[in-house]
């Protein structure tokens, strides 16, 4: 179904006014005189033109600024994998700084982002609240705002969406087995304790050999499913007006592709029960692209599944944190229009390359 060509349904003026009154007021506050043009490969373009075609529309810029330029009530769905504000992986995300920073993990060979810092959750909450308030204006009523997150920081994302006015409709867990254990041994700390003799150190190291710092190996990513409220419309009235809100359960999962989607998803073959009920097609080995240097690339099949479930063909999908372009690739494969925003020029170029490769194959 094309969201650009809806079945005509016009609720009474009274109903429309009631259902959009709150968001319109907030939107006016946030969109004062935005500079409409954006930087692209080919020069500058009016961002509002971006959502009108199916081809990859990727902007190299800061999403907070770029999103303000979009028309209110124009987005069907936002699907994004945001920065979690761990270490240097924040709303600036400089790949050079991340690579140059040798101190951002206690142990050098551990991946970036493992340092525990209680200020992360507050920074993420404040930042996400600002973003969610903008998206409350830009999404159509019934439009979904899906955010990947981590078990430790999920509450900041969910709460900021709720406070901005979204309804939290669900949490989907993307489950996987291939992840690094994060708890760290305490042996090297004991070894450096100045008041202990070598014998005492040996004894303590033996006593605590099975104990680790409190980080359980993480085997899932929670996805916050928030929806812009539909006010006084019923779901079917909202659907007929905006083509949003209802979920497309013709999108099936499982190894035989015959099960209804659940709020657990895996992209790995696992065991009989999981594969039968939750499996989304496995990602291919080549799908990242040879030159993709991004450190947190999502599987295309996972993004396609979410896009199919939460939007319709022709819908406008926005990813404010596009990274290496996985959402744009998935939109291209599923015939959705996409606006992707990426602040980092290196990743922006990678995402353009990935989308162009797909387009050339189609």
Interface contacts to ligand SAM, rule CB under 6 A: 62-63, 81, 83, 91, 93, 294, 296-298, 320-321, 323-324, 326, 341-344, 347
Which one, 3 or 344, has the nearer CB to ligand SAM?
344
Q: Using CA atoms in the order 146, 150, 152, 157, what is the torsion angle rounded to 10 degrees? A: -20
Is 233 exposed, middle or buried, given 0-12, 13-18 or 19+ CB atoms closer than 10 A? buried
- In sequence order, the 6+-apart residues with CB closer than 8 A to the CB of 192 are none
Nearer to ligand SAM, 124 or 233 (CB): 124
Residue from 28, 62, 26 nearest 163 by CA: 26
Q: Note the maximum CA span of the chain.
A: 82
- Measured from the CB atom, is 72 or 221 closer to ligand SAM? 221
Least spacing, CB of residue 83 vs ligand SAM, in Å: 5
The least CB distance from residue 84 to ligand SAM, in Å, is 8
Strands of the sheet with 337-342, listed across from one edge: 57-60, 337-342, 316-319, 75-80, 139-148, 220-227, 167-175, 264-266
Min dist CB 195 to ligand SAM, Å, is 43
Residue 63 or 172: the one with the smaller Cβ distance to ligand SAM is 63
Residues 6+ apart with CB under 8 A from 62: 91, 341, 343
Minimum CB distance to ligand SAM, residue 104 (Å): 16
> Of 37 and 277, which has the nearer Cβ to ligand SAM?
37
Distance from chain centroid for Cα 77:
11
Closest distance between ligand SAM and the C-beta of residue 134, in Å? 12
Smallest gap from Cβ 204 to ligand SAM, in A, equals 39
Of all residues in the chain, what percent are helix, strand and coil, respectively (each to 5)? 35, 20, 45
Considering the complex, what minimum distance in angstroms separates the CB of residue 288 from ligand SAM?
Answer: 8
Q: Is residue 209 packed enough to be buried (19+ CB in 10 Å), middle (13-18) or exposed (0-12)?
A: exposed
Q: How far is CA 352 from CA 56, 65, 94, 299, 302, in A?
A: 8, 20, 18, 17, 20
CB 111 to ligand SAM: min, Å: 13
**For residues 329 and 324, what is the distance between their CA atoms, to the nearest angstrom?**
10
User: Helix or strand or coil: residue 22?
Assistant: helix
Instruction: Count Cα neighbours of 171 within 13 Å in the Cβ-side half-sphere.
Output: 14
Residue 48: both structure tokens together: 């509002």
Closest chain position to ligand SAM (CB): 323
Residue from 68, 63, 73, 69 nearest 22 by CA:
73
Please identify, using beta-carbon distances, which residue of 93 and 274 lies nearer to ligand SAM: 93
Q: Based on CB atoms, which residue is closest to ligand SAM, 87 or 342? A: 342
- Residue placing its CB nearer to ligand SAM in the complex, 135 or 190: 135
Give min distance, CB of 42 to ligand SAM, in A.
Answer: 20
Check residue 352 and report its DSSP letter. H
Nearer to ligand SAM, 27 or 300 (CB): 300
């Amino acid at each position: 179904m094309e969201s650009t060509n809806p079945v005509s349904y016009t609720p009474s003026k009274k109903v429309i006014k009631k259902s959009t009154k709150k968001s319109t007021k907030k939107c006016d506050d946030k969109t004062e005189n935005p500079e409409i043009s954006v930087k692209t490969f080919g020069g500058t373009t009016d961002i509002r033109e971006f959502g009108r075609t199916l081809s990859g529309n990727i902007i190299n810029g800061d999403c907070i600024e770029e999103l303000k330029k979009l028309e209110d009530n124009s987005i069907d769905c936002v699907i994004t994998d945001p920065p979690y504000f761990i270490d240097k992986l924040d709303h600036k995300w400089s790949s050079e700084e991340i690579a140059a920073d040798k101190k951002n993990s206690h142990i050098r060979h551990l991946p970036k982002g493992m340092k525990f810092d209680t200020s992360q959750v507050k920074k993420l909450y404040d930042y996400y609240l600002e973003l969610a308030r903008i998206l409350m204006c830009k999404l159509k009523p019934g439009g979904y705002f899906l955010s990947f997150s981590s078990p430790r920081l999920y509450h900041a994302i969910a709460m900021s969406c709720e406070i901005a006015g979204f309804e939290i409709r669900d949490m989907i867990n993307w489950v996987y087995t291939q992840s690094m254990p994060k708890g760290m041994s305490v042996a090297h700390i004991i070894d450096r304790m100045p008041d202990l003799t070598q014998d005492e150190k040996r004894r303590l190291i033996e006593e605590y050999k099975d104990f680790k710092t409190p980080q359980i190996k993480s085997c899932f990513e929670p996805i916050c499913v928030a929806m812009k409220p539909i006010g006084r419309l019923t779901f079917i009235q909202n659907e007929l007006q905006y083509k949003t809100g209802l979920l497309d359960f013709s999108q099936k999962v499982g190894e035989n592709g015959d099960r209804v989607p659940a709020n657990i998803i895996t992209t790995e073959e696992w065991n009989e029960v999981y594969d039968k009920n939750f499996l989304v097609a496995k990602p291919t080995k080549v799908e990242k692209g040879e030159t993709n240097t991004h450190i947190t690339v999502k599987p295309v099949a996972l993004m396609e599944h979410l896009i199919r479930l939460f939007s319709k063909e022709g819908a406008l999908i926005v990813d404010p944190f596009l990274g290496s372009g996985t959402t744009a690739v998935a939109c291209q494969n599923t015939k959705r229009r996409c606006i992707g925003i990426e602040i980092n020029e290196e990743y922006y170029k990678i995402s353009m390359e990935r989308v162009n490769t797909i387009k050339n194959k189609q």
